[in-house]
Amino acid sequence: MQISTIQAGNTEAQSFQGQNVVIIGGSSGIGLATARQAKDAGANLFLISRNPQRLRDAAEAIGGATQIVADIAAPQPTIFTGINRIDHLLITAGTVHLQPLKDQSEADLSKVISERLIGPLLAIKAALPHLHSASSITMTSGQFATRPAAIGAVVAAAVSAVESIVRALAIELSPMRINAVSPGWVDTPLLDGLMGEAKRQVLEQTASALPSRNIGRPEDIAQAILFLMANRFVTGEVLHVDGGGRLV
């Protein structure tokens, strides 16, 4: 499907008018910010999350969206039933589990791999009958792929695998496009659970060490995702949006 453009003041903005955008993990953070921007650009939104209440709240916050309750760790083959065409698929759900390997159980390891790797692959497989040659798929990796944390081995492995997946599937699924966005430090609700009351102090210290001198917002990553969705000449790429975090 042809991507047109609309004029917004003195800048050119992408238009997704009438296109079906499906977001797995669209009830909060980066997924929700992407849903809002895509909705503003005219897209028909389909949000998928395992939390029904958060899903309802997200759909209401962006002014309406089709809601699908499903778990990315074990997506069913029928997850996309009722969506006749998927123009753009975004997969941004997944656990960040930071703990020394010696303290992690097999269940801990499996949860990260299921949510970050196996689940997304099964979701893409289930989406194939609904995708077309001009469709795009966007995955999320993360800065741990290039700058792993001492207690994040399994997360580093999973997001590194995502980056390999997009390169391989860009060839296998051609001319369909598949890319990944790799966020750095982004102020999302996910960090609330990881850091609790220390979050603000940690983010301020982190920002001071970044070349950009600021922490990312979900909206910053959403802009990058929409670029990957819209640009028909980008495939098999990993777009780093990290404030220069890979450099320091």
CATH number of the domain where residue 53 is located? 3.40.50.720
pLDDT, tens digit, 9 for 90 and up, residues 120-159: 999 999 999 999 999 999 999 998 888 888 888 999 999 9
DSSP helix/strand/coil, 23: strand
Domain count, the chain: 1
Q: Within a domain: residue 70?
A: yes
pLDDT, tens digit, 9 for 90 and up, residues 189-244: 777 766 677 778 888 888 899 999 998 899 999 999 999 999 999 999 999 999 99
How many Å apart are CA 143 and CA 123, to the nearest integer? 23
Q: Within a domain: residue 127?
A: yes
pLDDT, tens digit, 9 for 90 and up, residues 161-193: 999 999 999 999 999 999 999 998 888 877 776
Q: Decide: 99 and 36 in contact? Cβ < 8 Å.
A: no
Q: In this structure, which amino acid lies at residue 27?
A: S
Q: Within a domain: residue 204?
A: no
Q: Within a domain: residue 21?
A: yes
How many Å apart are CA 171 and CA 16, to the nearest integer? 25
Q: Within a domain: residue 10?
A: no
The whole-angstrom distance between residue 176's C-alpha and the CA centroid of its chain comes to: 18
Q: What is the mean pLDDT of residues 23-33?
A: 94
For residue 38, give its domain range.
Answer: 16-188+218-241
Q: Within a domain: residue 201?
A: no
Write out the two tokens for 24: 């797995």
Q: Within a domain: residue 94?
A: yes
Sheet holding 136-140, edge to edge: 66-69, 44-49, 20-24, 88-91, 136-140, 177-183, 238-241
Q: Is the predicted pLDDT of residue 9 greater than 60, yes or no?
A: no
Q: Decide: 45 and 35 in contact? Cβ < 8 Å.
A: yes
Q: Decide: 42 and 30 in contact? Cβ < 8 Å.
A: no
Q: Within a domain: residue 83?
A: yes
